[in-house]
Amino acid sequence: MPDQNLPRIVEFAQLPKSPTGIEGLDEITEGGLPLGRPTLVCGSAGCGKTLLGIEFLVRGILDYDEPGVLMAFEETAAELAANVASLGFDLVQLQADKKLRLDHVHVDRSEIDETGEYDLEGLFIRLGYAIDTIGAKRVVLDTIESLFSGFPNEAVLRSEIRRLFRWLKDKGVTTVITAERGEGTLTRQGLEEYVSDCVILLDNRVIDQVTTRRLRIVKYRGSTHGTNEYPYIITEDGISVLPVTSLKLEHKVSDEVISTGVADLDGMFRRGGLYKGSSTLITGTAGTAKTTLGAAFALAACQRGERCLIFAFEESPAQLLRNMATVGLDLQPFVASGQLRIEASRPTLNGLERHLVTIHKLIGDFKPDTVVIDPISNLVSVGSLSEVRSMLTRLVDFLKVQGINALFTALISGERGQREMTEEGISSLVDTWIHVRDLEGVGERNRGISILKARGMGHSNQVREFLVTEHGIRLLDVLVGPAGIITGASRLTQHIQEQAQILAAEQEAERRDRELERKRRVLEATIANLRTEFESVEDELRRVNSEEQERYDTQQQGRRQLSRSFSAQSPAAPNGSGA
């Protein structure tokens, strides 16, 4: 018997879902469509409703081994097979393998009027037979308007719609039902959206002469889901929805540091470069060597043995290779070896969504370690700043999740452009922001580089002048004068002045050395004179001392002689008188 004192843990079962296999849609729906329930896909003409249904069936067969039934009311089986053949969907072969059942139902209002009362009983029998024949798990009905065109009575129509949806639920098949959009309602009948468990709205709009398709999950019973509008495109591989790749920002990070491709620039970062897998933005006005910095970054990646992908929106691959070779950045050998790939196109060739999908596809095929996009600012020509920001948010997030080193360049115009990059652009999305600028002097323009932002890493706050030479980019040491940082010709003038000051100091030092040498010689001469004088006095004293010693010796000798003479002349003592 369970302990009554233990806290009760309630586990809520998640709603079973059937994955669609459509790129991005499963993420928005958090796993797919409701399993065993009907889903309504509605939209205007040309938004891809039929294609979404067919891809749902084909992906289910190929990826999940779930047979499917497609019941069409407008196009024949042959027409449908021909229409999707260009996407690589071989419906004929899938039918031959008994994985797919195509059934075209012809509905004609005039024929219905002649035969009498109309209901869906025959459809249920026909559809049920098709499902049971191949053991179908998925069903697509395309489109429902044709099916209900034979109902003049609205009450009967609503009753039959409810009966159809209930019948599909009872069969336990995951169903996609397509419908045309109505006036002020999601569908023409205005009822299907209410009885469906999941409603997906497709929209095809034209903004500034650019076609954009967008998808929105209107409702999803029993499940959370993405609620925004998500761009999607139809490519040669089918439908691709473009959600934000990682809503929870749970991508991995690395402590490994890689080079920017410019050794002097690496030195401006405390750890000697950029974090691996991070994103870097280089902004600047025209002619400030943004593309050259991007090429140096790509070259460094190739030299590390990494695969690199460059997206160029301004120059052809041949022009880019030639221009970079003139500044010492030889990318051609890596292009020839297949390690470096350059994709060049005009931004206006496609809309933002197609550009994003193209980037995703090329990254998936080429699997690069490093990606350079030059410049992202050109994408504004095919969308507003907010749309570009949305697209780049998805792209930056995708690259981070993949652990790819990313570098973006962006053209800005003056301080207003820099404000746009911070307020409406992507500077807040990237990890590192490097800014290059013009340093205008007297009659000349020079280039300066500074680091505005580097997440998780200390960096220099200086503005460094740099040169684009035949051997790449070289940063110059900071030279500060009375009026601030000195660049260009002023740097040369300052150098000449410093050389003149050094020369003057050397000359002054030489003069002082000569004066010191003169004084040394005078001192040495004085010392020599004093020594000579001292030696003369010393000799004189020695002579005097010697003479005095001789006189003294003579005197002593005379005294001794005198004493001896005196002793010889004295009389002898008398002998004793009593002898």
User: Where on the phi/psi map is residue 279: left (φ > 0), alpha (ψ -120 to 50), or beta?
Assistant: beta
- Based on the domain organization, do 215 and 263 belong to the same domain? no
What SS3 state is found at 344? Answer: strand
- DSSP lists the bridge partners of residue 219 as 199
pLDDT attached to residue 204: 81
- Based on the domain organization, do 352 and 272 belong to the same domain? yes
- DSSP lists the bridge partners of residue 210 as 207
- Based on the domain organization, do 363 and 304 belong to the same domain? yes
- Look up the CATH number of the domain holding residue 181: 3.40.50.300
- Based on the domain organization, do 420 and 298 belong to the same domain? yes
pLDDT attached to residue 486: 56
To 10 degrees, the CA torsion angle through 468, 470, 473, 479? -70
User: Per the confidence metrics, is the pTM higher than 0.75?
Assistant: no
pLDDT attached to residue 11: 46
pLDDT attached to residue 111: 47
- Based on the domain organization, do 230 and 348 belong to the same domain? no
- Based on the domain organization, do 453 and 491 belong to the same domain? no
Q: Residue 275: exposed, middle, or buried by beta-carbon count in 10 A (0-12, 13-18, 19+)?
A: buried
Q: Is residue 573 part of a domain?
A: no
- Based on the domain organization, do 77 and 94 belong to the same domain? yes
pLDDT attached to residue 113: 44
Q: Is residue 494 part of a domain?
A: yes
- Based on the domain organization, do 482 and 465 belong to the same domain? no
pLDDT attached to residue 560: 82
Q: Is residue 96 part of a domain?
A: yes
Q: Is residue 545 part of a domain?
A: no
Please, which residues have CB within 8 angstroms of residue 402's CB and are 6 or more apart in sequence? 363
Reading the chain (579 residues) residue by residue, the pLDDT tens digits are 444 454 444 444 578 999 998 878 888 898 899 999 999 898 888 888 999 999 999 999 999 999 999 998 888 888 888 988 888 889 999 999 999 999 888 765 554 443 445 567 888 888 899 999 999 999 999 887 776 665 566 677 777 778 888 898 999 999 999 988 776 666 666 566 677 889 999 988 776 666 778 888 989 988 888 888 887 878 777 887 865 444 456 678 889 999 999 999 999 999 999 999 999 999 988 888 999 999 999 999 999 999 999 999 888 999 999 999 999 999 999 999 999 999 987 766 666 667 777 788 888 889 999 999 988 877 766 666 677 777 778 788 888 888 999 999 988 875 554 545 544 467 788 899 999 988 776 667 888 899 999 999 999 988 888 889 998 899 887 665 555 555 555 666 666 777 888 888 888 898 899 889 989 899 988 998 888 888 888 888 888 888 888 888 888 888 888 888 877 766 655 554 443
- CB half-sphere exposure, 357, CA atoms < 13 A: 21
pLDDT attached to residue 570: 63
Q: Is residue 222 part of a domain?
A: yes
Q: Is residue 546 part of a domain?
A: no
- Based on the domain organization, do 93 and 149 belong to the same domain? yes
- Based on the domain organization, do 126 and 153 belong to the same domain? yes
Residues of the domain holding 171: 17-111+118-241
Cβ atoms of 151 and 112 closer than 8 Å: no
Strands (E), 32-137: 33-34, 38-43, 68-72, 100-104
- Based on the domain organization, do 446 and 485 belong to the same domain? no
Q: How far apart are CA 296 and CA 305, in angstroms?
A: 14
pLDDT attached to residue 6: 44
Q: Is residue 529 part of a domain?
A: no
| Overall domain count for the chain | 3
Residue with the two structure tokens 């500044």: 327
Q: What is the DSSP letter of 576?
A: P
pLDDT attached to residue 350: 63
Q: Is residue 8 part of a domain?
A: no
- Based on the domain organization, do 466 and 483 belong to the same domain? no
